[in-house]
Amino acid sequence: MTTSRLPDSKLLTAIDVHVHLEAPKSGAAAEAAAEKYFGRTDAPQGAEALVEYYRSRKMACVVFGVDERLTGRAQV
């Protein structure tokens, strides 16, 4: 990423310091268990949707990949 694409910090409304980028749904049992435990969400799916969500709100975020070694889902 080039620094010219980074936002001017004075223009930001917030910084979300713990965001997970999820892999696309695969039908794995772990997904059903997570949905049962955490509930359904209308959170943006995929990197581009996440980028648009935060940019449209003039927010920055720190993105963490989800460790998928235990669930069998694809890593992002």
Whether 73 is covered by a domain: the verdict is: no
Whether 54 is covered by a domain: the verdict is: yes
With a pLDDT cut of 90, the percent of the chain lying above it is: 25
Question: Which segment of 4-8, 56-60, 63-67 scores lowest on mean pLDDT?
Answer: 4-8
Q: What is the pLDDT of residues 2-39, one digit of tens each?
A: 444 666 888 999 999 998 887 777 787 878 888 899 88
The average confidence (pLDDT) of the chain is 80
How many independent structural domains does the chain possess?
A: 1
Whether 57 is covered by a domain: the verdict is: yes
Whether 60 is covered by a domain: the verdict is: yes
Whether 44 is covered by a domain: the verdict is: yes
Q: Report if pTM > 0.75.
A: no
Residues 6, 61 contacting (CB under 8 angstroms):
no
Whether 26 is covered by a domain: the verdict is: yes
What is the pLDDT, as a whole number, of residue 3?
A: 42
Whether 76 is covered by a domain: the verdict is: no
Whether 21 is covered by a domain: the verdict is: yes
CB proximity list for 63: less than 8 A, separation 6 or greater? 19, 20, 21, 50
**11: domain range?**
3-65
